[in-house]
Amino acid sequence: MSTGIRIGKTHASRDRSLRVGPLSVRFRPRAMLAALACAAAALAIAVVLIGSGDYPLGPGKVVDAVFGNGNPADVFIVRELRLPRAGVALLVGAALGLSGAVFQAVVRNPLGSPDLLGFTSGSAAGALVMIVLVGSGAGAVAFGAAAGGLLAGVLVYVLAWRRGVHGFRLVLTGIGVTAILTGVNGYLMTRAKLVEAQRALLWMTGNLDGRDWADVMPLAVAMAVLVPALVIGCGPALRMLEMGDDAAAALGVRVERVRLVLLAGAIVLVALAAAAAGPVSFVALTAPQLARRLTAAPGPNLLPSLFMGAVLLVGSDWIAQRAFSDNPLPVGVVTGLLGGGYLVAMLAAQRRAGRI
Amino acid sequence: MRAAPSSSPPQPRQAESTAAAAGATALAEKATSRRQIPTAVGICGSLLLLVAAVLLSLALGSRPLSIGQVWDGLFHPGSTGYAVVHDMRLPRTVLGLLVGVSLGVAGAVMQAVTRNPLADPGLLGINAGASAAVVTAIVMFGVTSFTGYIWFAFAGAAIVTALVYAVGGGRSATPARLALAGTALNAALFSYVQAAMLVDSSALDDMRFWTVGSLASAEMGTAAKLGPFVAVGLLLALALARPLNALALGDEAAKGLGGRPDRTRAGALVAVTLLCGAATAACGPLVFVGLLMPHAVRTFTGPDLRRLVPYCAVLTPVLLLGADVLGRVMARPSEVQVGTVTSVVGGIGFLILLRRAKEVRA
């Protein structure tokens, strides 16, 4: 500890700084605690989720089985059948939470989520084209979803570009693109056979049934690269961007470049998450807001949002599977109902407190 | 309309300066009349456009007919085109007209009352409410006829509007709160609709055609049932144009000018419910028409609702009928639903408007 790692208190704020030689990182103890608590909660819910089902297992047995100990039947059930699904839920939730935080910070609007910005309907359009027009299997649908989401993202960015991209124009362009794609999607749904339409609807709702590691490999690789790049590489710049482009530029942030990197990273995450589990609604919108309430910190709260997203998706999947166990719902239905209910409750609370 | 206040007896404290007031009124009237003439001409021109759109909608379709055949088909029972023109294209055109008027006026009023340029029936959750009610009707009550949907859609739209208003803060509703409440309810209801469609595949089969927005199954009976609602909504909107203009200055200023913001807002929400409920019941949740047309019209009328509302009422059906005709001839012999055409055309138009706008600020 004494060889140059110092933890100090920066003046006039609750921030602490961690110094290692010439490098230093500022952090807030409460935000860090919130992030760790969310991560622990996500893992705990995942263990409960893995342990519950037609063949229930205690938490201890689950943890043993995950590491390959315990009796072979348990190990098979946990590692081959249930762990992949929980892993997909954790990764997709984390990707959505992080990208939601990035979008909301870049757009400077608490409603700036991938659903609003057109990427979700782009993914849906890509998947629908694969299901309805090409009639192909799961792998091709995932590819179509990723490609559709990325294309929609590039389209929105290019259309919104005029000597820089500003938050409000990005939202408006996203709404325009969403509307066009919604029309196209509706048309494709009416062209489909009923069986195809069912499959497409199930996919568009957001669904974790029958997922295994292969489905989530692209997302896992992308997250391994993008999470450090976004959180460590762009996090501080993003915090300055929230003060306005001019102020950020004056503080030495290359505004357009940082914004491009941030948006590109977030779009890739959303598109790959959609490819893995379909466009799950509301996680990207709610996770950053819940995280902010926990940390009580300004700024984008990237890491807490990431873990909060994982909590939300794993928790929703547990509800979806267990609350209606004879007829399990797709996870997207639960996130939508919970998210909508949360927003309504939050509005009512804020009104009582006289804040909005 | 503008001269009405001056014909009432002058207030006591104004009596001293009656002459000055009269002079001012005359000036104002002059200015008004100078502005009103182009409005009248413009409305007449727009009406001509509307007539052209109606004629096109009667004349064109997936089955090619000559002008003579269309004419016979409209008026002579038993002629070759009667079944096509009188029984199918005419109800469709009338319904398109009603829906267009409803959506255009509802969009204009909604954008004024929420003071939000992005307000439309989709944003406030009204379409979602109607969809949720229709899916409930199909799944729980086994309603399958088109006329059966209408009242459910209406009830759903009304309930959600009331709910949005209540969640948004009732008498103290602010634009931001209304929009947030609408978004929240929208999402929750949409999930409910998806769940219902996933559970019941016959509901999916009906809903996927209803949600896209189509005039194809129009009947004269539907138009007759919805006509009164649209008429009342339109009259209410026209009557509210002046108070809403005052409201645009903010609640305080509106009160200072003698307006009653709460009553105006409640009345506007009633008008919007009537209009949106009717439109959504008739042809499903059409996106973008109610959002885009007021924006396009505002570019040449300015924000004055007394000009904006009539123009929207006349020009929105032109867009809707045009889109319907386009959808009919685009993919002969099958059809592209009007909802698809409006959202694609409307979306592209919206993006063009956005590119042209000099400065868009938050």
Answer whether residue B235 shows pLDDT above 90: yes
Chain B residue numbers touching A327 (CB-CB < 8 A): 199
Q: What fold characterizes domain A84-323+331-338?
A: ABC transporter involved in vitamin B12 uptake, BtuC (1.10.3470)
Give the separation between CA A255 and CA A277, rounded to whole angstroms: 33
- Decide: residue B21, CB within 10 A, 0-12 exposed, 13-18 middle, 19+ buried: middle
Residue B175 has a pLDDT of 62
Residue A269 has a pLDDT of 92
Residue B158 Cα, gap to closest chain A Cα (Å): 18
Residue B21 has a pLDDT of 44
Contact B191 A348 (CB under 8 A): no
Residue B5 has a pLDDT of 42
Q: Residue type for B293, please?
A: M
Q: What is the CATH number of the domain that holds B246?
A: 1.10.3470.10
Give the separation between CA A117 and CA A268, rounded to whole angstroms: 14
Q: What is the pLDDT of residues B113-162, one digit of tens each?
A: 877 766 777 767 788 888 888 888 888 887 777 677 778 888 888 888 88
Cα A175 off chain centre by: 20
For residues A312-334, give the mean pLDDT. 84
Domain membership of residue B240 (yes or no) is yes
Contact A187 B212 (CB under 8 A): yes
Residue A2 has a pLDDT of 45
- Of A169, A189, A356, nearest to B208 by CB-CB distance is A189
Contact A177 B351 (CB under 8 A): yes
Residue A83 has a pLDDT of 87
Give the separation between CA B209 and CA A186, rounded to whole angstroms: 8
Helices (H), chain B: 4-7, 18-59, 67-75, 82-84, 90-113, 126-141, 146-167, 175-199, 201-210, 220-247, 251-256, 261-283, 289-301, 305-330, 338-356
Give the separation between CA B320 and CA B98, rounded to whole angstroms: 10
Residue A40 has a pLDDT of 92
Q: Find the closest chain B residue to A330 by CA distance.
A: B195
- DSSP state string for A151-171: HHHHHHHHHH-SSS--HHHHH
Listed range (B14-18, B232-236, B352-356) with the worst mean pLDDT: B14-18
Domain membership of residue B17 (yes or no) is no
Q: What is the pLDDT of residues B200-215, one digit of tens each?
A: 777 788 777 777 777 7
Q: Beta-carbon neighbour count of residue B51 at 10 Å?
A: 11
Residues 6+ apart with CB under 8 A from B26: none
Q: How far is CA B50 from CA A151, B100, B102, in A?
A: 38, 11, 15
Answer whether residue B23 shows pLDDT above 50: no
Residue B275 Cα, gap to closest chain A Cα (Å): 21
Looking at the 3D structure of chain B, how many domains does it have? 1
Answer whether residue B36 shows pLDDT above 70: no
- Of A313 and B4, which is predicted with more confidence? A313
Domain membership of residue B129 (yes or no) is yes
- Of B183, B212, B213, nearest to A111 by CB-CB distance is B183
Computed on alpha carbons and rounded to an integer, the radius of gyration of chain A in Å comes to 21
Residue A355 has a pLDDT of 58
Residue B200 Cα, gap to closest chain A Cα (Å): 10
What is residue B17's DSSP assignment?
G
Domain membership of residue B15 (yes or no) is no
Chain B residue numbers touching A175 (CB-CB < 8 A): 118, 350
Q: Is the dihedral of CA A158, A161, A166, A169 positive or negative?
A: negative
Give the separation between CA A184 and CA B231, rounded to whole angstroms: 32
- For B261, the domain range is 94-356
- Of A168, A330, A334, nearest to B361 by CB-CB distance is A168
Domain boundaries, chain A: 84-323+331-338
Total CB pairs under 8 A between chain A and B: 152
Biggest CA–CA distance in chain B, Å, is 76
For residues B27-31, give the mean pLDDT. 46
Q: What is the pLDDT of residues A77-127, one digit of tens each?
A: 888 888 888 899 999 999 999 999 998 888 877 767 777 777 888 988 998
Q: Find the closest chain A residue to B182 by CA distance.
A: A344
- Of B86 and A154, which is predicted with more confidence? A154
Domain membership of residue B316 (yes or no) is yes
Residue B234 has a pLDDT of 94
Domain membership of residue B71 (yes or no) is no
Q: Is the ipTM of this complex over 0.85?
A: no
User: Residue B13: which pLDDT band, with cuts at 50, 70 and 90?
Assistant: very low
Interface test with B, best of A182, A329, A342, A352 (most B CBs within 10 A): A182
